Amino acid sequence: MNPWLVYALSGVALFSVGLVGLFSHQHVVKRILASNITGSGVLLVLVALARRVPSGPPDPVPHALVLTGIVVSVSSTALGVALARRMARLQAEATHSPEHEPRSDGEGP
Amino acid sequence: MDGLLDGCLALCLPLLAYLVLRTESLSQAVVLFVAFGLLSALGWARLEAPDIALVEAAVGTGLTGALLMHTLSWTEETPPDVRARARRRPWALLAMAALTLLLGWAVLALPADSPGLGLEVDARREDSGVKHPVTAVLLNFRGYDTLLEIAVLLVAALGARAVNPRSERASSEAAKDPLTGELFRMMTPALLLVAGYLVWVGDHGPGGAFQAGAILAGGGVVAILTSRMGTPRMSSLRVRWALLTGPLLFIGVAVAPLFSGGRLLEFPEKYAGTLIFIVEMALTVTIAMVLLMFFPGTRPPRTGRGSAR
Amino acid sequence: MSPLELLSAAFLFAGAAFCLAGTVGVLRFPDVYCRLHALTKVDNLGLGLVVVGLALRSSSWATALKLLLVWLFVLISSAFTCQLIARAALRRGAVPWGGRREP
Amino acid sequence: MTSVAALMAWPVILPLLGAVLALLVGRPGVRLVAGVASVATLMASSRLAWEVAHQGVLRQSIGGWGAPLGIEWRADGLAALMLLTIALVGPLISVHALDHLGDREDREFLPLWLFVWCALNALVLSDDAFNLYVTLELTTLAAVALIAVRRDLPGLDAGLRYLLFALPGSLCYLLGIALLYGAHATLDVGTLAQRVQPGPVTWVAAGLVTVGLCLKTPLFPLHVWLPPTYTGAPTPVTALLSALISKGSFYVLLRLWLEVFAPVLDARVGQLLGVLGAVAVLWGSFLALSQTQLKRVVAYSSVAQIGYLFLVFPMATSGARAGAIYLVVSHAAAKASMFVAVGNIHQAVGITALGGVQGLAYRMPFTFLAMALGGISLIGIPPSGGFIAKWLLLNESIGTRQWWWALVLLAGSLLAAAYVFRILRGSFLPLPAEVKVRSIPLRNELAPLALALIALVLGLVPWFPLELLAIGASR
């Protein structure tokens, strides 16, 4: 049960938790968190595979892939959060604007 | 002794991830998610991947966590129907276990000690112009991936900015606030120094454009949240130049050899190191600017929820 | 075990003990302000002891200084975050715990 | 400038450079920069396709590093045809988008479209598995940003829904690639094809890659996000999504399946994909028949047409491959023309219900001619590209003695005829008096017509594309 296998299995478990969680939750922020966890799982598997080198430094190629993967997953998370935030504000305005007095701080859509 | 730490860490990660998704209240889920990010940064460190631990801690946990908490003040805490969730939970657990077993079966079938491409990278590292293998792969051997990835960052920034155009200008009353003013003044020089060091050290040690960009963005986020600096807006030319110098330089360096009969992204032998360093400096500014653009500057409108002011 | 390693092991154990105390404090204390005490004071001390223990073990002075730098930055940032959290809690109307409450 | 490296680099670098410059110049110069970049990329793509037609398969390693370390590019007939399709269909849709969307949206639509173009060109040319992941992700994020470009509630909801279905798709694909890298220590598709043997790693990796890409294409059981996303997004963006962006993930699946996985997996898995495709055809067509909104009819027709594409997997012969790719190309042109026509109708009359189409044929002749021609190609009536594609697939299904796919093809065509004529029938009825029709610029009317003519020409002159497709066909 060498160390890389432990982390690879943990990465696979993370992937499953994230993927199933993504499809079983409705709330947008929860689903974004789940997709982030799925991404971490895949990247953990990749880095665990890099650690299989018997002696000497780990294999740098998966490290570069994971660096790219983290930046891509952060970009998609940030885009998802931006969309969710805008939607929440529009919905809030839609439900509260009829009886709400005109907004003071110039917050028009 | 190491096995115990690895085993415990490898076990905690999925459990914490499951907890993140199971907690009903959103703010608690986000806090647990930040803890999960820090634990996974520890995992990267245990797997001897310092570059990734740096980026995970700075970007994956720091910025994403701050972004999620910043958003929570907007999204309504929709009351979850606990009964439906409870009915579905055993099925979800069953699906997770089945998927883990299936994928675990494949992982166990992998060869246990294949060196991967490590040997090839070490063989060709001298003529990549950079000593640190990860930076060599990231910017020279697979530089094309990084070029497309910068495009991914630009698209995400454009999408996030397009959707949240309103941003607050720096307000003067924030400057007088003793707490954040002092923090800001004390932190900024150290931050710039660390970011510069990280870009420079990327040549022969763990570091590089992403880590440095993330550190700079961290400082910028503090400035935005303390409304000392408005979110960078695409409408101002300075922001656009800061954002796009990196990509333009990278494309220029990539395309230059084509005119002299060489191949795309073929760095000339002698100048490879310096060219990579210049491109990384410009990319650091781009990455920091993009990560800052994800942050809306506006105070969340307190509509509907009468929280005591 | 050379005396240097013994000393560093002692520091490490002390640091771990303080971190444990800090965490128990965070779990047990009744309101935000007490928990902030536990977090900021005790955990930072624990971190300081661990850092000193590691510095004793580290091979070169450079790493020792870098470790101390880590501790310095954590001290600065936790000082400010603790103040900010306390101020935000006070604004949100979290009443400080006034002594023993009737069960 | 004629070195192979330059030839293969320009179709990717030019749109990227165009997008970055378009972002830089800001509002005044966006249309000019985007126009110049589009023309340049069109020339670069056709120049590369011309070179492939004459020299056969072109290969190139980026940065001069060899296969295992560096990233390889490969341009075979299939890639050349896809490059041409993207270069022709895309700009026509973006011309229509300029008037359909407001002025503010231009500043965001054009750079995003150029990013999509760069990503699709990079995807078509790349021969490296992880590079395909990065291009897929770039396409997905640009598509999400495009869907939400109007910042209205339906657009945001559609964008989020698409993001939260496409993200797990990419991550499944990435895990499949990670397993393959773990087993064979290479990311190059060509080397993978030689090293892959049947075994648990290959089966699970193939499953993950297939599920991931079927989520993004989308194939039948995983297509739930398509109708709401296609109706919520602005119409030109929907045209881009259905015509080009969904074809990108199918292209990757087809390449990986035919070259890497087919020889090692037994045929039953191919049959399963075929069955799912068949169910998608019937399910999509039935639902298209029962819709009342114009856009939803065309959206469900996309689900059906994508179903046809998956009929290639059970009969993995070169003829079926040619048929599937021909359907990809003709569907791209035909579906784009129908969505753009729907956009015109919406712009002119403002009604999206099916009934609102009544009597419009007299006032918007070109739009409805385009819709008719596009419909003919979707149904597969002789002079259209769709007919050639379905003919090839029919031939193969009889040739490989899997006649049931022929039944699916015929039933699908019949149903397609039903819902296309249902739309066209209304347009020839007398125009009700109270409907006031705003006149739309001629340029907007010609865009769908040009797209529909592409689908028609594909039917009239099929030998050029088929010869091009034959170059580099592995089996």
Q: How far is CA D154 from CA A87, B19, D147, D417, in A?
A: 9, 32, 9, 30
pLDDT value of position B25: 85
Q: How far is CA D12 from CA A76, B151, C36, D468, in A?
A: 22, 12, 54, 21
Q: Which chain C residue's Cα is nearest to B219?
A: C77
Give the minimum alpha-carbon distance from B307 to chain C in angstroms, rounded to a whole number. 8
- The label of the residue with tokens 């397609």 reads D416
Domains contained in chain A, number:
1
User: Residue C101 domain-assigned?
Assistant: no
Q: Which domain holds residue A75?
A: 3-96
Q: Do B49 and A77 touch (CB under 8 A)?
A: no
Domains contained in chain C, number:
1
pLDDT grade, residue C20 (50/70/90)?
Answer: very high
Q: Which residues from chain D sit within 8 angstroms of residue B263, using beta carbons?
A: 5, 60-64
pLDDT grade, residue B78 (50/70/90)?
Answer: low
Residue B176 corresponds to which tokens in the numbers above? Answer: 């007088």
* Mean pLDDT of the C60-88 span: 90
B135 within 8 A of B142, measured Cβ to Cβ = no
Q: Which residues from chain C sit within 8 angstroms of residue B73, using beta carbons?
A: none
Residue spans of the domains in chain B: they are 1-73, 129-300
Q: Do D16 and B147 touch (CB under 8 A)?
A: yes
Q: Which chain D residue's Cα is nearest to B272?
A: D63
Q: Count of CB atoms within 10 A of residue B249's CB?
A: 17
Judged by average pLDDT, the poorest of B232-236, D125-129, D217-221, D413-417 is B232-236
Q: Which residues from chain C sit within 8 angstroms of residue B38, using beta carbons?
A: none
Count of A-B CB contacts under 8 Å? 269
Give the minimum alpha-carbon distance from C61 to chain B in angstroms, rounded to a whole number. 18
CA distance A3 to B47: 9
Q: Do B71 and A6 touch (CB under 8 A)?
A: no
pLDDT grade, residue B75 (50/70/90)?
Answer: low
Closest by alpha carbon to A35, among A25, A45, A50? A25
Taking the model in full, what pTM does it have? 0.93
pLDDT value of position D39: 95
D115 within 8 A of B148, measured Cβ to Cβ = no
> Is the pLDDT score of A96 beyond 80?
no
The per-residue pLDDT for range D69-98, each reduced to its tens digit, is 888 899 999 999 999 999 999 999 998 888
A86 within 8 A of D156, measured Cβ to Cβ = yes
Closest by alpha carbon to D111, among B250, B156, B292, B233? B156
Judged by average pLDDT, the poorest of B9-13, B54-58, B169-173, D291-295 is B169-173
Chains D and C touching, counted as 3 or more CB pairs less than 8 Å apart: no
pLDDT value of position A102: 44
pLDDT grade, residue B167 (50/70/90)?
Answer: low
Q: Which chain C residue's Cα is nearest to B190?
A: C73
Q: Which domain holds residue C37?
A: 3-91
> Is the pLDDT score of D343 beyond 50?
yes
> Is the pLDDT score of B161 beyond 90?
no
Domain CATH number, residue A16: 1.10.287.3510
Give the minimum alpha-carbon distance from C53 to chain B in angstroms, rounded to a whole number. 19
CA distance D341 to D334: 11
Tell whether A57 lies on the interface with B, counting CB pairs under 8 A. Answer: yes
User: Residue A29 domain-assigned?
Assistant: yes
Q: Do C76 and B186 touch (CB under 8 A)?
A: yes
Q: Do D23 and B243 touch (CB under 8 A)?
A: yes
For chain A, helix, strand, coil in percent to 5 are 75, 0, 25
The per-residue pLDDT for range D290-309, each reduced to its tens digit, is 988 888 999 999 999 999 99
With a CB-CB cutoff of 8 Å, which residues 65-84 of chain C face chain B?
A: 73, 76-77, 80, 83-84
pLDDT grade, residue D356 (50/70/90)?
Answer: confident
Residue D412 corresponds to which tokens in the numbers above? Answer: 């699908």
Among A61, A65, A95, A107, the strongest candidate for a mutation testing the B interface, having the largest count of B CBs within 10 A, is A61
**Which of D69, D159, D175 is the closest to A45 by Cβ?**
D175
Q: What angle do CA B149, B150, B152 make, to 5 degrees?
A: 60
> Is the pLDDT score of B301 beyond 70?
no
Give the minimum alpha-carbon distance from B227 to chain A in angstroms, rounded to a whole number. 15
Q: Do D160 and A76 touch (CB under 8 A)?
A: no
**Which of D130, D151, D179 is the closest to B163 by Cβ?**
D151
Q: What sections of chain B are H helices per DSSP?
A: 2-22, 26-46, 50-55, 64-72, 82-108, 118-124, 133-136, 143-163, 178-201, 209-225, 237-259, 272-293
Q: How far is CA D87 from CA D92, D323, D374, D423, in A?
A: 9, 21, 19, 29
CA distance B213 to B234: 19
- In degrees and rounded to multiples of 5, residue D58 shows phi and psi of -105, 135
pLDDT value of position D222: 84
pLDDT value of position D300: 93
Q: Which residues contact A51 (CB under 8 A, 6 or more apart)?
A: A3, A4, A7, A58, B47, B48
Q: Percent of chain D scored above 70 by pLDDT?
A: 99
D165: Cα within 13 Å, side-chain hemisphere: 24
pLDDT value of position B81: 61
CA distance D300 to B230: 44
User: Residue C58 domain-assigned?
Assistant: yes
**Which of D144, D152, D172 is the closest to A79 by Cβ?**
D144
- Crossing angle of the two packed helices D294-309 and D385-399, in degrees rounded to 10: 40
In order, the DSSP letters of B215-245 are HHHHHHHHHHHTTSSPPP-TTSHHHHHHHHH
> Is the pLDDT score of C98 beyond 90?
no
> Is the pLDDT score of B308 beyond 70?
no
Of residues B24 and B35, the one with the higher pLDDT is B35
Give the minimum alpha-carbon distance from B242 to chain A in angstroms, rounded to a whole number. 18
**Which of D130, D159, D181 is the closest to A83 by Cβ?**
D159
pLDDT value of position B166: 63
* Mean pLDDT of the D3-14 span: 89
Three-state DSSP state, C77: helix
Among B38, B72, B179, the strongest candidate for a mutation testing the C interface, having the largest count of C CBs within 10 A, is B179
Q: Which residues contact D51 (CB under 8 A, 6 or more apart)?
A: D4, D7, D58, D75
Q: Which residues from chain C sit within 8 angstroms of residue B179, using beta carbons?
A: 80, 83-84, 87
User: Residue A36 domain-assigned?
Assistant: yes
- The label of the residue with tokens 């770039």 reads D138
Q: Which residues from chain D sit within 8 angstroms of residue A46, using beta carbons?
A: 178, 181
Cα pseudo-dihedral D404, D408, D414, D416, rounded to 10: -170
Tell whether B36 lies on the interface with A, counting CB pairs under 8 A. Answer: yes
Give the minimum alpha-carbon distance from B294 to chain A in angstroms, rounded to a whole number. 6
Verify cis geometry, omega within 30 degrees of 0, for the bond prior to D221: no
Of residues B97 and B229, the one with the higher pLDDT is B97
> Is the pLDDT score of B214 beyond 60?
yes
Residue D341 corresponds to which tokens in the numbers above? Answer: 């026509």
CA distance D136 to D132: 6
The DSSP 8-state label assigned to residue B171 in this structure reads P
User: Residue A90 domain-assigned?
Assistant: yes
Give the minimum alpha-carbon distance from B137 to chain D in angstroms, rounded to a whole number. 8
**Which of D135, D183, D203 is the closest to B110 by Cβ?**
D183
D374 within 8 A of D332, measured Cβ to Cβ = no
> Is the pLDDT score of A49 beyond 50?
yes
Count of A-D CB contacts under 8 Å? 80
Count of B-C CB contacts under 8 Å? 17
Output the average pLDDT for chain B: 84
Residue A102 corresponds to which tokens in the numbers above? Answer: 């005109």
D173 within 8 A of D260, measured Cβ to Cβ = no
Q: Which residues from chain B sit within 8 angstroms of residue A68, using beta carbons?
A: 138, 145-146, 149
CA distance A18 to B139: 31
With a CB-CB cutoff of 8 Å, which residues 14-43 of chain A face chain B?
A: 14-21, 24-25, 27-30, 32-34, 36-37, 40-41, 43
pLDDT value of position B77: 62
User: Residue C47 domain-assigned?
Assistant: yes
Residue D188 corresponds to which tokens in the numbers above? Answer: 């190059």
Q: Do A75 and D157 touch (CB under 8 A)?
A: no
Q: How far is CA A52 from CA A15, A56, B117, D185, D251, in A?
A: 20, 10, 11, 12, 33
